[in-house]
Amino acid sequence: MDMTKAVRFAPVSIAFCLLLSCRPAVDRTLEEMIDHVYPVEPTATLSVTNRDGSIRIYAAGSETRDVHVEAIKKAYNAERLRAISVQVSAQPNAISVETIYPPDSPIGFSDRSGTVDYVIVVPPTIRISKLELTNGEVLVEGMRSEEARAYLGNGRLFAHNCFGNLDLSLKTGNLAIAYEWWEDLEFSIRATIENGNAFAYIPSDAAFHLIAHTATGKIANDFAEKEQRRPEPVNKIDVLVGGGGKTTFQFETQDGNVKIAEHNP
């Protein structure tokens, strides 16, 4: 082969090889979907536990009289996929969803792959007695119940347009509470974070009692009046916004910041 042609051919060959090597790897994840609907009373009790994946709770219309549970199991092999089970116990006044993973090997070399992603549609007034996830993402949207408790070990925790009582706990990660509009109703939101940040996105016409404390971080509050603003970092506040209203927001972080953002709906 002519040396000049060989030199010209070399970069093309290298580029082609790099292109092949950079192609996305084939996704070998196996999936199985579980989809069931259970009739319940509007104020029934719901409990959901999971280890890895996500739990998303969506409130339907006020006329809803059932719980729709969709679960997607994922794993890298069929044996592992079969070993992960979703167990549902449903009565008109109570429903529990439990995720069972195979026990870990005592020698520490067991296959821990596998996740379960839940999408659960519920009556807005259902009581969430326990919503627990070890790793992943939790979302609670549109709830208007007297009780809703959620715990996340590691990941992201969201609450969206909830006008009912919420008790949110997060060990490591970030937490966000957001409202696209405001309703002057009596409810309280309590968020506790061990290691991470809290963010609240609240309409400018909202009225509420704001309590916040961080052990090592700082607090930024867009609703603070001019006389309440300080040049030095603030790590504790207790203020009434818009006269106080009927709602209470309480944020507690050990190692992280708190940001209360104001927006115009």
Give pLDDT tens digits for 180-207. Answer: 999 999 999 999 999 999 999 999 999 9
Cβ atoms 148, 85 nearer than 8 A: no
28 Cα distance to chain centroid = 26
Average pLDDT, the chain: 89
The per-residue pLDDT for 134 is 98
| Residue 13 in this model has a pLDDT that exceeds 80 | no
Q: Which residues of 68-90 are buried (b: 16+ CB within 10 A; e: fewer)?
A: ebebbbbbeeeebbebbebeeeb
Q: Which pTM was predicted? A: 0.86
State what percent of residues in the chain have pLDDT above 70.
Answer: 84
Give pLDDT tens digits for 81-119. Answer: 999 999 999 999 999 999 999 887 665 545 567 999 999
The per-residue pLDDT for 213 is 98
Q: How far apart are the first and last CA of the chain?
A: 71
What is the average pLDDT across 112-141? 96
Q: Which residue is associated with the tokens 């950079």? A: 22
The per-residue pLDDT for 19 is 40
Beta strands in the chain (DSSP E): 30-39, 45-59, 66-75, 85-91, 94-100, 115-122, 127-141, 149-160, 166-178, 187-203, 208-214, 219-221, 236-241, 247-255, 258-263
Nearest partner of 114 among 153, 157, 71, judged by Cα? 71
242 backbone φψ class: left, alpha, beta (φ>0; ψ -120 to 50):
left
Residue 36 CA to residue 88 CA, distance in Å, equals: 10
Give 28 or 249, the one with higher predicted confidence: 249
The per-residue pLDDT for 233 is 79
3-state secondary structure 23-64: CCCCCCCEEEEEEEEEECCCCCEEEEEEEEEEEEEEECCCCC
